[in-house]
Amino acid sequence: MRAYLPAYELVVPRTLSEALALLRDEPGVWQPFAGGTDLMVLLEAGRLEHKNFFSIAHLPELHGVEASDTHVRLGALTTYTDVRRDAFLSREFPMLAQAARETGGVAIQNRGTLGGNIANASPAADSPPALLAYDAELELVAAEGSRRLPYSEFHTGYKQTRMRPEELIACVHLRRPRAGARHFYRKVGTRRAQAISKVCFAGLAESEGAMLTNVRVALGSVAPVPLRCRRTEELLTGKNVDEELTSAALEEIAREIAPIDDIRSTARYRARVAQNLLAEFLSSIA
Amino acid sequence: MKELSNSAGETSDGTRRTFGGEAEARAVADEGGKVSVRCTVNGEAVTLRGYPLARLLDVLREELKLTGTKEGCGEGECGACSVIIGGELVNSCLVPVAQAEGAEIRTIEGVADGERLHAVQRAMIECGGAQCGICTPGMVLAAVNLLEREPRPTEADIREGLAGNLCRCTGYMKIFEAVVRAVESKDEG
Amino acid sequence: MSDGNIGKPVPRKEGRAKVTGAAQYVDDLRLPGMIYGATVRSHVARGRIQKIAFGEGIPWDEFTIVTARDIPGANAVALILNDQPYLADAVVNHPEEPVLLLAHEDKYLLEEARRRVRIDVEPLPAVFTIEDSLARKEVIWGEDNVFKTFLVEKGNVDEVWSGDDLVVVEGVYETGAQEQLYIETNGVIATANAAEGVVVQGSMQCPYYVHKALVKLFRLPEDKVRIIQTETGGGFGGKEEYPSMIAGHAALLAWKSGRPVKMIYDRAEDMTATTKRHPSRTRHRTAVTREGRLVGMEIDFVIDGGAYATLSAVVLSRGTIHAAGPYNCPNVRISSKAVATNAPPHGAFRGFGAPQSIFALERHLNKVAAAVGLTPEELRRRNFITKGETTATGQVIHEDVDLAALLDRAFELSSYHAKRERFSRENDASRIKRGIGFASFMHGAGFTGSGEKYLQSIVGCEATAEGRVRVLAASTEIGQGTNTIFAQIAADALGLDYDSVEVVRPDTGYVPNSGPTVASRTCMIVGKLVETAALQLKQTLANDGLLAESFTQDDFARACREYVERHGALRAFTQYRQPENVEWDDEHYRGDAYGAYAWAVYVAEVSVDTLTYETRVEDFVAVQEVGRVIHPVLAAGQIEGGVAQGLGWTLYENTVWQAGRMANGQMTNYIIPTSADIPPIRVHFFENPYEGGPNGAKGIGELPMDGPAPAILNAVEHATGVAFDRVPLVPEAVMDALLARAGRGLKDVDERQTTGTGATAV
């Protein structure tokens, strides 16, 4: 443990409004602490810069999964285990279920939360590509009220988001995909479990006959942010998948992503695998 | 609202409490900057005291002298520090003590029933699933937890259920065998 | 009388303590008044220390601070060359080199203080690769950057290259650094003062190595230094030499503070600052007849030793001797070097140089086979060493070695031929390319050459008045089963129950020096001494007329009680004596390199996903002959564990270096196999008792590290048609090679053509 522990604070507000009041009254001083699967790692390494945290793990408003005819609402504190064990989510949002299954091991899945994964804003996180491909919308809550924001607009740069200092992520809204949609998720992390992704791909395609009516493609670990590839989507939408379209899409996505070399992989590898996975996704659309 | 699925964090059945912390049971720091939290460890009510972000791992080991919980990496990667909270496996190195209020914690010391070993422990000895032994407490808890959730795991279930617990000695084969043996021995009664 | 324990899966001695969490590792212990110690390290690879500054806001007067000037004896870790300081004085030679020690009772404040010490270093040019070190781009050690060289010569290799009917095949092979990654990090607790001397307990493989080092560090009489091994959470070589360093540090802090000092590395420090497997580069040049008979082998083997000599010379020695493998070749020259770079010293790791040189050979032989139009299997069959033939050092093999039988069995268990044929047929149409490959190899047990003669290991057995037998040895239980097999061996020698024998915890104040727990020597060499000591114990009782030829457990207990009443303690000690027929020439590196070898053939089946370029091992068969198997479960556990480590080294464990420092020193970024990554590992033993070992046993621990890397890469070659010659084989490298080949328009080339790239017919 490299951190100087006496310097850190973790308070436990009684209610959500008490938590939001903390954020309002002392803006920038307090940060939320959910499952701790990222923050505790930084703490251990002596690299947790922020000092004052409040626990949100027990706040009932931030839990729960609810479905309506058209949408599903996932509380920010929905854990990966919650997702995995939920038959409805596994059926309707298989990419999210797969992302949950491939994040860490069982013990991490029991503590890691969707909201935490989003707020931590790592470009290598496993659930954001799936959430982007499901066109997620975030509900942010503050003492003064709440607002909704398309998730695709949330990340603005490496570890930068549009969340204001007085806000918490309350929940994630997903639109239920059409039956028969193609869901394609692949996390590439060299080993089979407990890996940090080198490339993470999520693709959703709805089609009428041979024509793609709605395509969403998102990637992790290939840009400073979890990336929704809108130009590639536009290129594909309204077209029939064929060899020509596929090669145009591969070119487009290569322009859209901005992978780097780091200790886990190379830009070259990430770019090529992203293309390969896009090609595989497209070829899987019957 | 059409379908109400198994809701996250729901505690009515008491099995999903990997987070502690009832609102009214709020932990307040004392003069030394430490908090005291009430919880149960291996069925016994205890009060844990530590800096709010102190790792449950350290508090268990240092305050309660429950040294069977081991540190392997301190970053939730190796699983040596696994404990079971509210019926779910967690890495105690990632749990700050301030979040343990009201938690039901089970450590390796609470797995055997007195002198009588748990079926997983017996099988680990018989099958050679423990070599150097440092991953063993966490591995035993992961296996115990797996069998509690899934009494008849497939090989894939076993591999996945233990994937968060790294072992550098065995190559895992003997651990898989031990889990299978534990299932069989339970069948035999 | 017991009906014998050998070959039976008796329960591991410390099994119950380990599965209940009761086993006490060093971090589980606390002494009254104990404080915590930490190491402040260099951030620079090489340079001159200018200044050490202590930052503000820390109550420095509360801290114990130790620098090189506080060392009472010699500032060098006593090992082979004694060139590595405990604390850098004027210069630093690698990143993470220890410069200063701190201790305080508040471990959180200690970490804060560690951050506030600033060590200013004026950088000097540094060397980070084998090539730059060999080229003396900068001389960073001695006169030429070379720690050690060896030359092994057999026949006259210079005369073979010109034969008419010969094919000459060349190749270059490389291996990367590998972290041992025992799950328990290095740690010790020390107490030290002038009156009582130094006591260190901790996680370690070799208590007497630490003892020797601390005697010199403190300039104390031998009986004033006592080293006790605590339960040890894995070693794999990583706790062979390094504990001498951390034990010295903790003891220096204890000496200065007058209080017990606990020093436990966190994972990041353990990964970045302690030893790893030596990176290597091997060049092969082989002359082979068109019929596939090896005629000449010229091997140039180089390992990267890091900044100090430490154990590199002996790692190089083992790697050198194993470099020509289990083959009969009349003309061999192996020249080898261990060179310096400005990285933390590389050190012992299971296999000790042999996995590196065997990887090169077993990849190269596939290349040789392709060059002469033979299958990898047939080439090896034509050259397997057999009884009466000689190894590269001229050692005559006296055992009935039958590698062909091991190969047959391994192929049968793995359905090698059927799969090889099927994969070759199906791969064209598949996105997943499958392959199967193998490696055949041997591993010598015990210290190399005269090593055991110099060690002069001693083992004792004692019996209490209650008839309980205790084995006294410095050989440590580190998970491999020392306690269990020693008890089995002693019990069998005495004709007693397994439960009546226990193995005493290694404590230099109590047990004799049975040598280090390394080199696959614990069972074969030390186990034999255990057997002898136990027999002597029995003989002592018999000589006193207390024990008949046939006796029960109760008779034995009665005899012990009677003996203890008559004479006091009942103990027997025995010392190693080199067998008469073993001859070794240290100067020319010729003769009987090892008392015995274990022999093996490993088969790996892989799949390569052409979408992600990831390689997965789907199945693994390990067939070996290790003499007599003492404990079938422990023995299989050794093989499976070694195979898993080998698999990690081959496909996952990529040490990323940045200016001599490991950049991925976290478990998150240095990835070892999980339970989801390991294929079924099927282990099969052939038994061929070796007369020099206890109950016929040979060494086993390191063997399984040698085979996986070449077997897996040979399988990848079968799957993809690409000959990869470096481990770890990361997906990025697979991609580059597959794309380069596609770019050359060689999409569907038959294996023989692509593997023959290094071949030139003369």
What does each C-alpha distance from C481 to C13, C201, C505, C688 come to in angstroms?
Answer: 8, 20, 13, 21
User: Sheet harboring C47-54: ordered strands across?
Assistant: C91-92, C47-54, C117-123
Question: Residue C731 and residue A277: Cβ atoms within 8 Å?
Answer: no
Please provide residue B44's backbone torsions phi and psi, each rounded to the nearest 5 degrees. Answer: -105, 135
Question: Residue C267 and residue B170: Cβ atoms within 8 Å?
Answer: no
State yes or no: pLDDT of A223 exceeds 50: yes
Alpha carbons C443 and C519: distance in angstroms, whole number? 10
Interface check for B6 against chain A (CB to CB < 8 A): the answer is yes
Question: Residue B26 and residue A12: Cβ atoms within 8 Å?
Answer: yes
* Cis status, amide bond into C728, omega within 30 of 0: yes
Q: Which residues of C sit within 8 Å Cβ distance of A? A: 107-109, 111-112, 115, 266, 268, 610-614, 616, 651-652, 656, 663-664, 666, 668-669, 671, 673-677, 730-732, 735-736, 739
Strand B104-106 to C47-54 pairing: unpaired
Report DSSP state, residue A153: G
Neighbouring residues of B188: CB distance < 8 A, sequence distance ≥ 6: none
Distance of CA B53 to the CA centre of its chain: 19
Question: Residue A5 and residue C732: Cβ atoms within 8 Å?
Answer: no
Quote the minimal CA–CA distance from A150 to chain B in Å: 22
Residue ranges in chain A assigned as alpha helix (H): 16-25, 39-44, 80-85, 87-92, 94-101, 106-111, 114-120, 127-133, 230-236, 243-256, 267-283
Location of structure tokens 């407990």: A194
Give the bridge partners for B35, in sequence order.
B29, B50
Distance of CA C45 to the CA centre of its chain: 26
A to B CB pairs, distance under 8 Å: 177
Nearest-by-CA chain A residue for B57:
A1
Quote the minimal CA–CA distance from C671 to chain A in Å: 8
Alpha carbons C253 and A30: distance in angstroms, whole number? 40
pLDDT tens per residue, range A177-200: 999 999 999 999 999 999 999 999
Quote the minimal CA–CA distance from A45 to chain B in Å: 8
Question: Residue B74 and residue A1: Cβ atoms within 8 Å?
Answer: yes
Alpha carbons A232 and C556: distance in angstroms, whole number? 84
- Helix/strand number for chain C, H first, E second: 20, 31
**Which uninterrupted H or E stretch holds B36?**
strand B35-41
Q: Of A13-22, A249-258, B18-27, C746-755, which range is least confident?
A: C746-755
Alpha carbons C641 and A232: distance in angstroms, whole number? 46
Which tokens belong to A272?
Answer: 């090529």
Determine the 3-state secondary structure of C35 from DSSP. strand
Tell me the chain A residues in contact with residue B146 when contact means C-beta distances shorter than 8 Å: 106
Q: Which of B187, B181, B178 is nearest to B139 (CA)?
A: B178
Please provide residue B101's backbone torsions phi and psi, each rounded to the nearest 5 degrees. Answer: -55, 125
pLDDT tens per residue, range A86-125: 999 999 999 999 999 999 999 999 999 999 999 999 999 9
DSSP of C146-205, one letter per residue?
EEEEEEEEES-GGGSTT-TTEEEEEEEEEE--EE---SSPPEEEEEEETTTEEEEEES-S
The alpha carbon torsion through A220, A221, A227, A229 (nearest 10 deg) reads -90
pLDDT given at position C3: 59
Tell me the chain B residues in contact with residue C485 when contact means C-beta distances shorter than 8 Å: none
Question: Residue A35 and residue B8: Cβ atoms within 8 Å?
Answer: no
Q: C: neighbours with 3+ CB pairs under 8 Å?
A: A, B
State yes or no: pLDDT of C25 exceeds 90: yes
pLDDT given at position A245: 97
Cα angle for residues C268, C706, C486 (degrees, 5° grid): 85
| C4 vs C87, more confident | C87
Give contacts of B 81-110 with A, CB under 8 A.
82, 88-91, 93-96, 98-99, 101
Tell me the chain C residues in contact with residue B107 when contact means C-beta distances shorter than 8 Å: 21
What does each C-alpha distance from A92 to A74, A82, A217, A227 come to in angstroms?
Answer: 13, 14, 17, 22
Question: Residue A106 and residue B93: Cβ atoms within 8 Å?
Answer: no
Which tokens belong to A261?
Answer: 């070399």
Question: Residue B24 and residue A14: Cβ atoms within 8 Å?
Answer: yes
Alpha carbons C604 and C647: distance in angstroms, whole number? 10
State yes or no: pLDDT of C755 exceeds 70: no
Question: Residue A8 and residue B51: Cβ atoms within 8 Å?
Answer: yes
Alpha carbons C68 and C44: distance in angstroms, whole number? 18
Q: Write the secondary structure of C439-453 as one string of H (helix), E (strand) and C (coil).
A: EEEEEEECCCCCHHH
Quote the minimal CA–CA distance from A112 to chain C in Å: 16
Which tokens belong to C601?
Answer: 């053939």
Q: A: neighbours with 3+ CB pairs under 8 Å?
A: B, C
pLDDT band at C743 (very low <50, low <70, confident <90, very high): confident
Interface check for A111 against chain B (CB to CB < 8 A): the answer is yes
Nearest-by-CA chain A residue for C729:
A190
Quote the minimal CA–CA distance from C11 to chain B in Å: 6
Q: B: neighbours with 3+ CB pairs under 8 Å?
A: A, C
Query: Which residues, given as ranges, of chain B have pLDDT below 50?
Result: 1-17, 20-25
Share of chain C above pLDDT 70, in %: 97
pLDDT tens per residue, range A10-24: 999 999 999 999 999
The predicted model scores a pTM of: 0.96
A to C CB pairs, distance under 8 Å: 83
Distance of CA C372 to the CA centre of its chain: 35
Nearest-by-CA chain A residue for C615:
A190
Question: Residue C109 and residue A4: Cβ atoms within 8 Å?
Answer: yes
Alpha carbons C416 and C438: distance in angstroms, whole number? 9
Residue ranges in A121-258 assigned as alpha helix (H): 127-133, 230-236, 243-256
Alpha carbons B64 and B110: distance in angstroms, whole number? 13
Neighbouring residues of C505: CB distance < 8 A, sequence distance ≥ 6: C228, C229
Contact C223, C186 (CB under 8 A): no
Q: Shortest CB distance from C20 goes to which of B121, B131, B173?
A: B121
Give contacts of B 108-137 with A, CB under 8 A.
none
State yes or no: pLDDT of C756 exceeds 50: no
Q: Write the secondary structure of B9-31 as one string of H (helix), E (strand) and C (coil).
A: CCCCCCCCCCCCCCCCCCCCECC
Give contacts of C 20-49 with B, CB under 8 A.
20-25, 27-28
Please report, as a single letter, which amino acid is at residue C532. Answer: T
Q: Which of B1, B123, A186, A282 is nearest to C614 (CA)?
A: A186
Could you count the other beta carbons within 10 Å of the beta carbon of residue C8? Answer: 14
Tell me the chain B residues in contact with residue C644 when contact means C-beta distances shorter than 8 Å: 170-172
Quote the minimal CA–CA distance from A199 to chain C in Å: 9
- Mean of the per-residue pLDDT values of chain C: 95
Question: Residue A2 and residue C668: Cβ atoms within 8 Å?
Answer: no
Alpha carbons C737 and C747: distance in angstroms, whole number? 12
Alpha carbons C442 and C402: distance in angstroms, whole number? 12
Please report, as a single letter, which amino acid is at residue A14. Answer: R
Quote the minimal CA–CA distance from B35 to chain A in Å: 9
pLDDT given at position C752: 32
Alpha carbons C196 and C223: distance in angstroms, whole number? 10
Determine the 3-state secondary structure of A263 from DSSP. coil
State yes or no: pLDDT of C744 exceeds 80: no
Quote the minimal CA–CA distance from B37 to chain A in Å: 11
Q: Write the secondary structure of C604-652 as one string of H (helix), E (strand) and C (coil).
A: EEEEEECCCCCEEEEEEEEEEECECCCCHHHHHHHHHHHHHHHHHHHHC
What does each C-alpha distance from A182 to A72, A218, A280, A282 come to in angstroms?
Answer: 19, 14, 12, 10
Location of structure tokens 């604070």: A9
Give contacts of B 47-76 with A, CB under 8 A.
51-55, 58, 74-76
Cα angle for residues A128, A130, A136 (degrees, 5° grid): 75
Contact A91, A196 (CB under 8 A): no
Alpha carbons C390 and A5: distance in angstroms, whole number? 63
Nearest-by-CA chain C residue for B67:
C28
Q: Shortest CB distance from C611 goes to which of A263, A266, A280?
A: A280
Report DSSP state, residue B57: H
Strand A160-161 to A168-175 pairing: unpaired
Q: Which of C262, C305, C298, C274 is nearest to C154 (CA)?
A: C298
